């Protein structure tokens, strides 16, 4: 289940980089929960064609993230906001933010 959430988040970020057909099949599978067979029947294509499209889209989304790193950056920004929202000593917040920024340099 966690993989599905991550891949749909990657689709939110990079989905427009896929072809229109890939986007539609991806949405039907992940967002509308249609089975591979249902998608194949609705589109009048083979089951294997649907499966290949989904696997290709997943791979492309993961490669986009590997190259660009936008998802990781957004997660780090969220972590920074969480640190700042905590009511603790400013020096502790500063140390945590510096540690987070240092890990960002590793991208």
pLDDT tens, residue by residue, 48-61 = 999 999 999 999 99
With bands split at pLDDT 50, 70 and 90, how would you rate the model's confidence at 89? confident
pLDDT tens, residue by residue, 70-79 = 988 888 888 7
Cut 0.85: pTM above it: no
Contacts 24+ apart (CB under 8 A), 7-14: 7/58, 7/61, 7/62, 9/71, 10/61, 10/62, 10/64, 10/65, 10/71, 11/57, 11/61, 13/64, 13/65, 13/70, 13/71, 13/74, 14/60, 14/61, 14/64, 14/65, 14/68, 14/70
pLDDT tens, residue by residue, 3-49 = 889 999 999 999 999 999 999 999 999 999 999 999 999 999 999 99
pLDDT number for residue 87: 62
């Amino acid at each position: 289940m966690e993989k599905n959430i991550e891949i749909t988040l990657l689709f939110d970020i990079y989905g427009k980089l896929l072809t229109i057909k890939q986007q539609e099949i991806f949405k039907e599978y992940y967002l509308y929960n249609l089975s591979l067979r249902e998608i194949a029947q609705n589109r009048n294509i083979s089951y294997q064609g649907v499966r290949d499209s989904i696997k290709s889209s997943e791979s492309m989304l993961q490669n986009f993230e590997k190259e660009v790193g936008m998802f990781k950056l957004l997660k780090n920004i969220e972590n920074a906001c969480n640190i700042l929202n905590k009511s603790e000593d400013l020096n502790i917040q500063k140390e945590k933010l510096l540690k987070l920024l240092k890990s960002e340099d590793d991208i």
